[in-house]
Amino acid sequence: MEEKSISAVMIEEYLQYLREQEKSKSTLEKYRRELFCLLTYFRRRKVEKEALLQWKMGLEQRYQPSSVNGYLVAANGFFSYVGWHSFRLKLIKIQKNIFAKEEKELTKEEYRRLVSAAEQKGNRRLSLVIQTICATGIRVSELQFITVEALQRGRAAVACKGKRRVIFLPVQLQKKLQAYCKEMGIKQGVIFRTRQGNPLNRSNIWADMKKLCQDAEVCAEKVFPHNLRHLFARTFYGLEKDIAKLADLLGHSSIETTRIYIMESGKEHQKKLERMGLIW
């Protein structure tokens, strides 16, 4: 049997294939990182099933099951692309969580404190970024679609991951953003931009938000951009109880993904049990 080996060229060809399939930039970066980890492991080894199982075992010792599965999905996709189907590995079975982790659930009050802390630090842009994500439920990567032109229409047309959807901008948010644009002399294009005029990226926003934790008295584990999207989802569902509509607003292909966003904590579930009044 011909010996199999992995090369950087093969990985780059696979990534180019994924690019042509219109995979997002973040997905490509993730797959690149994970596949080059695989390449490093097999640089001095021939690719065999037993060696792959050893690689998988090493991942399990270092990472959480969900992270290990991320590596395995990337590897399996690559193996399918090059026709090495027998090398595909089974994913780790993860028991579905029934409740959200209370220690990572951002509350409305904590959200308000983050906004206030940004204002007090004189970081108006960050305050509005936080409010825009939380009031619309958009992803950080979709902030680039919040433009002066979208503001004039009262809605933004978002194109992400091969899907298109319309994001409505609340009137109060429109007024705040209009005032900010006037103050900063922004007359067209992306509203949230760097000094060089480029759209803000995830790392800029993540780092700036972390700096608010102490002043806002919010646990750092709760403070990251995507958690604002979760707060939007829980708040919307609390008002509408319409998971299908929420999935459309969030841009989810599967309602199962949306269920994760509206998962309540065990503490909230306990409160509901107490209110049922079924104990005499």
pLDDT in tens, 184-205: 999 999 999 988 888 998 888 9
Average pLDDT over residues 44-71: 92
> What predicted TM-score, i.e. pTM, was given to this entire model?
0.69
Residue 24 has pLDDT above 90, yes or no: no
Q: Is 142:133 a contact under the CB 8 Å cutoff?
A: no
Residue 266 has pLDDT above 90, yes or no: no
Cα-based distances in Å from 260 to 24, 68, 169, 230, 247: 21, 20, 24, 9, 11
Average per-residue pLDDT for the chain: 90
| Domains of the chain by residue range | 8-87, 102-271
Distance, CA of 171 to CA of 149 (rounded, Å): 15
The domains spanning 8-87 and 102-271 adopt the same CATH topology: no
Which residue from 115, 61, 249 is spatially nearest to 169, judged by alpha carbons? 249
At 44, the pLDDT band (50, 70, 90 cuts) reads confident
Beta-carbon count within 10 A of 265 CB: 15
Q: For 1-23, write each residue's pLDDT tens digit.
A: 567 889 999 999 999 999 998 88
Cα-based distances in Å from 174 to 57, 78, 144, 152, 231: 51, 45, 16, 8, 20
Residue 45: the pLDDT is 81
- What's the distance, CA 173 to chain centroid? 22
Cα-based distances in Å from 182 to 130, 148, 161, 178, 185: 19, 10, 32, 6, 5
Residue 226 has pLDDT above 80, yes or no: yes
Multiple choice CATH, 8-87, 2.60.120, 1.10.150, 2.60.40, 1.10.3470: 1.10.150
DSSP 42: T
Residue 96 has pLDDT above 80, yes or no: no
CATH number of 102-271: 1.10.443.10
Least confident interval from 25-39, 163-177, 190-204, 264-278? 264-278
Q: Is 234:268 a contact under the CB 8 Å cutoff?
A: no
